[in-house]
Structure 1
Amino acid sequence: MTTLRFNKPYQVLSQFTDETGRKALADFIDMPGIYAAGRLDRDSEGLLLLTSDGLLQNRISHPDYKLYKIYWVQVDGQISDQALQKLREGVQLKDGMTLPAQVEEIPPPASLWPRDPPIRERAEIPTSWIQIEICEGRNRQVRRMTAAVGFPTLRLIRYAIGPISLEGLNPGEYAEVEEQPLWEFFPQQKTRRSRGSNKPGPTARDRGSNRGREKRARR
């Protein structure tokens, strides 16, 4: 089985081909039998997981399994403490109340790459960055959440899915990762991956546990 982490660039589809000729995964990854586990909107950037394991693909993408994801979000305006608290408690969207989220204001991420094209900034209005961690998978949820508290999203980057992050990957790059840290998030499936071994798996919340074992591959 093969599982990859991929830093999806802006304006790239989370599918391998597109009939209209828009950029898609096949422009960056040439590997048969591997499929995206979940999706990331075309106008969003960052971490996308792909795997040849159908069961793991279902676990990652299905909302019932509550796999937490971390996003870096640049919003229009200087976000207020009141807006941050509303996001933490949950906000009312058209499809219902969101679950409480872990949210904090952050400085612009040090490892951030320039977006092409860049966002439109207005000289008289500042922007700010937040980090938000959620486990729901509603359509365009983060963008709708920030808009609901009065701070529209300008740029959205998914930084982590469970224990896997995009650290060290430039846009358009991918690397192979071990599956066990992901399976640690699904206790009912642990025996499937540990059969034949009495060694405990890596700690699920240790996001750096897989870095030394990754095999970097570039386009």
Structure 2
Amino acid sequence: MLDLGAPEPATKQQIGPDAWLLKGFALSDADALLAAIEQIAAQAPFRHQVTPGGYTMSAAMSSCGAYGWVTDRHGYRYSPQDPQSNQPWPAIPALFAELAERAAHSAGFAHFAPEACLINRYTTGARMGLHQDKDEQDFTAPIVSISLGAPITFLFGGPNRSDPTSRWLLEHGDVVVWGGVSRLYFHGVSPLGKKASHPTTGAVRYNLTFRKVR
């Protein structure tokens, strides 16, 4: 049973309205999370998806849960099936769901139940441009994002793409949660640096992004 009375992270930094960086929140579970990612990728391999405009994303992606996020020439959307296999995505591991719920609760969002977990794999130079998470039908639930492996710089802006962005270093085991006022704020990550590395993953960074879709 999920223990929502678990201790708060050592450092909890507010990065915007209803938006928090929980330093080291997932650190004790990091090895188990990485092992689960390997199992998921064996069923739904990482792939570089193509945007409707024909741009190949620099971060490789997989998914687990009731829905996976996909993009191709037909647009951005959630699909209950992996388009590469035409099979359902792997289920969200219990550890993933419990950790996401606990992080959301720590940031002030009770009863978060993710339906999709996007798994991004970043190698040297990979990035994610400023964007909004707006393909979901339910904007009342927060976004929970877990970082594993090599450090990267997170960019957090505002409701407009042109708004100034703040920069936050995300390290192994850090979690970012945003919702409420900030739910549709633009965000992204700078390119993974040439010297960025971690003893466990080398020059690779993984990101787990949990969302409620419907």
Higher helix share: 1
The two structures share one fold, judged by TM-score above 0.5: no
TM-score with structure 1 setting the length: 0.30
TM-score with structure 2 setting the length: 0.31
